[in-house]
Structures are given as C-alpha cells and as structure tokens.
Amino acid sequence: MNLRKIVTNVEDLHAEGGRPVDPVARTAVVLAVIENPWAGAGFVEDLAPLIDEVAPRLGELLAPRVAEALERPIEAYGKAAIVGLDGEIEHGSALIHTLKFGDHFRKVAEATTLLPAVEKRAPAGTVFDIPLKHVTDATIRSHHQTVEVRVPDAPRADEIVIGLAAAAQGRPQARLAPLASER
C-alpha cells in the first residue's frame, strides 16, 4: 500500500436551528489517500490478491484513528471510497466492501450493523458525503445523517481516497418519530 497522506477532520456543532446543542455534537472523519493499486494495469479480472493485501492494512490504520479523533463513544458510522479518474469505482468498492476492512471499524465501534458507504469516481477536490447509521440498529432514524468532506488535492487520477466517519450522537435536534410508529 502506497500511502500519500492522511487527513483528519473533526467538527463540533454548538448550535442548530437557533438552539444550543447540549452536549455539543461531534463528528470525525479520517481519510487515507493511497495509490490505486490497479491503476494503469488495464482491466483486472481478479481483484482479490490486492484486496487481501491492502484492505486489512487500511482498516487497521483508519479505525483507531477515527475513534481517537472522535474522543467519545461511537454511535453512528460510515465509510467512503473516492476513486481517481484513471480507476474504476470497483477499485474503491473492492477495498471497503470486505470484512477485512470493515471489521476493524466494527470492533473499535462495538458495532453490529453494516457500514453505510459512498463510492464514486471523481477528480481531486470533489466534495462527497459519507452516510452514517447507528452502530447497532440501522432503523434508529436520529442517527441517519451525512458528513461532508473533501481533500483539495485528492484523489489524483491514479489514487483512491478511503475514509471512515463517526459521530458521537444522532443528528442535532432530531425529533422524528421512531420507524415503529408508522406501522
């Protein structure tokens, strides 16, 4: 895995809808900018060998960093893969849609649900939203939210941005009825 840089973003939201948020709502995102291991190789039929090599290392690298950046128990989480223009969306999906990657975050977050994801191909500096869901119950509406991020110089054409995002709470001022109330 050829790592160019790691970007960490922490946001503390103090007010929403004209009202204070108490406790302050915190989100954290950690992004790794890596060389796309399949870029320039033409169409690669079998992605498995490099998945086995790269995905676990990314999970081991990012999961503890996002937990440390959040500095609170993780209640909502998500993941991202943004592939540079010389790659395929499948290249990013290959790295994040495997237990070899995601289980590192599930363990750190004490989570049991599937990690929601965004994956797309885009040029450097593209803004993207990482969807978040509750770590143990994906039906908890208050935790359905997104975190917006961008890396100004990534992904370059032959790179992939791989990220994990976490929130210490649901949406600030959430007040929708539970899903069960609609049955």
Q: What is the pLDDT along the chain (183 residues), one digit of tens a residue?
A: 999 999 999 999 999 999 999 999 999 999 999 999 999 889 999 999 999 999 999 999 999 999 999 999 999 999 999 999 999 999 999 999 999 999 999 999 999 999 999 999 999 999 999 999 999 999 999 999 999 999 999 999 999 999 999 999 999 999 987 776 666
pTM over 0.85: yes
**What is the C-alpha separation between 156 and 8, in angstroms, rounded?**
18
> Could you tell me which residues come within 8 angstroms of residue 101 by beta carbon, excluding any fewer than 6 positions away?
55, 56, 58, 59, 79, 95
Q: What is the pLDDT of residue 177?
A: 76
CA distances from 111 to 83, 102, 135 (A): 27, 10, 5
* Residues paired with residue 20 on neighbouring β-strands, in sequence order: 15
CATH of domain 3-182: 3.30.1330.110
Query: Closest by alpha carbon to 152, among 131, 118, 123?
Result: 123
3-state secondary structure of 152: coil
- Is there a contact between 59 and 53 (Cβ–Cβ < 8 Å)? no
